[in-house]
Amino acid sequence: MNGYLIALVVFLAWLGFILYLRRSKVLERHSMSLYGPMIMWRTLRGRAFIDKVASKKLFWNFYGRLSLWVCASSMMLIMLLLLWEATIVPQIERAPSPELILGIPGINPVIPLGYGVLALIVAIVVHELAHGILARSGDIKVQSLGLVFLVFPIGAFMEPDEKELQATTRRKRSKVFAAGPATNILLALVILGLFSGVMMSSAEPVNDGALAVGVVDGSPLGRAGIVPTSLIVSVAGQTVTSASDLEDNSYAAPGSEVAVDYYYKGELRSVDALYGIVVAYAVEDFAAYTAGFRTGMVLVSLNGMQLATTSDLSGVMSGLSAGQVVPVTVMSYSQTDDGFVIDGSITSVVLSDKWDYYDEHLPSENEESYRGVGYLGGGFLNLGIRTQDADYYASMLAHPFDGNKDLSDFSMSWLRLVALPFLDLAPIRSPVTDLYEPGGSLAWMPDSAFWLLTNSLYWIFWLNLMVGLTNVLPAVPLDGGYLFRDALDFLVDRSGTKYTKEKRDRLVGSISIGLALLVLSLILWQLVGPSL
């Protein structure tokens, strides 16, 4: 059955259930009320616990100040991110669907329902609990606590005494507002430490080999069925233990057929495929493309030299000049022969100038020494696969910031971490999980339990970070909107200009509403901008 149809049936059943509860007066008898299609259940339970925790006022006063700094820096970060995204919207061909903007499990297609519900409950509970603790620490009453249901529990809430909240000092009120999103962000960092530093650091490769992280379309191995996450362990009967083995060693004559053994989804498999270096891409208006090279072809020889590896190709090219005509042998796939054959239409190539290529495509990396140097203007891969060592995925997630040299590298590492769901790496599942097993101090754990805990930690990190960063946006009714309004009120009050309270409130309110509209327009621009 279609997923949307299932969701519609469940939602209609929920509405019927709500109607029954309303008519039978069950909601009123159990301190429940409706808020649209959601049920809000209020209770006084938990207030004693919050009072007890909030009694450590010295600690919570420090935590409130820390929360203000966390929210202030996060607010600037998320606003800069929104402004930067606004500048690149014209370059985006396809707008994200509205579902991707909403971080709601079951609606957002990248958030798995089970992990998403768990993580969202954790995020909202700690968010509201932090609000409540800081409110009581500041001697502000908590009227009630409760849960919100929409088919299943989707969150929690804390209701402070609004009169006391508005009557208290700006500093105390700001700490209450800041505590929720700051706790989400700080918890996200702690959980990330557990995900990377404990779980993924314990994942060990089941087998050594060369891990295919990319396979050229139409290449011999691609046609033979090898896909990314395949772990190559032998070629032509010779053992492969790492990516460098496959890159540096010659296993057979180029153009000959070899047996390739590999693991996929934990199963050892074998295929026969053509051996050699494969054209990964050829750039228009440069030598390789002009000569007829196309993605997936096998380059057998150049200038009379057999090419078994890309190192062989580099060695041949090092002695050639731009404009030089050199003989070439290329094999391409023949539908008639159902295999790769010598392509008689490609017998020579007129080399391009390396400086011209870099000037057009990689100007920041161009050098004067490239002038007059022969260049094909294409990319080539041994066997047509881009490889890494077997521990690639585990190492990438265990040490996400390794090798960062500057702020740009650090930012890209963060973006990669957050983008794992879009890279099909969250939740981590087969065939990636088949490559690893828990080791070290966690070697006792069953694989299923290990990956269940690992994925749960990632999604708790992800949704806490999203909830925290969303709530620091300077737009009422988000926490960040109230924080910005109080901060602005403080600045106007201390500006030296004598305003009446009414005039100051109008000025602060107008600026706050204007900023909230700017935030909304920046978000809507991401949805409609690519279509214009």
pLDDT digits (tens, 9 = 90+) for 117-133: 889 889 988 998 898 89
- CA–CA distance, 142 with 158 (Å, rounded to integer): 7
237 φ, ψ (degrees, to nearest 5): 80, 0
pTM: 0.84
Residue ranges of the chain whose pLDDT lies below 50: 1-2
Q: Give me 55's structure tokens.
A: 């009694």
Q: Please enumerate, as own/partner, the contacts of 160-163 that have beta carbons within 8 Å and a separation of 24 or more.
A: 160/131, 160/132, 160/135
Residue type at 105? Answer: P
**E strand or H helix at 158:** strand 152-160
What's the pLDDT score for residue 101?
Answer: 59
**E strand or H helix at 221:** helix 220-224
pLDDT digits (tens, 9 = 90+) for 352-362: 999 999 999 99
Q: What is the CATH number of domain 210-388?
A: 2.30.42.10
What's the pLDDT score for residue 96?
Answer: 61
- CA–CA distance, 320 with 326 (Å, rounded to integer): 9
What's the pLDDT score for residue 445?
Answer: 94
Q: Is 151 left (phi over 0), alpha (psi -120 to 50) or beta?
A: left
Nearest CA among 357, 307, 354 for reference residue 327:
307
What's the pLDDT score for residue 1?
Answer: 46
What's the pLDDT score for residue 447?
Answer: 94
What's the pLDDT score for residue 493?
Answer: 78
Report CA-CA distances (Å) from 475 to 153, 156, 490, 505. Answer: 26, 21, 17, 16
7 φ, ψ (degrees, to nearest 5): -60, -40
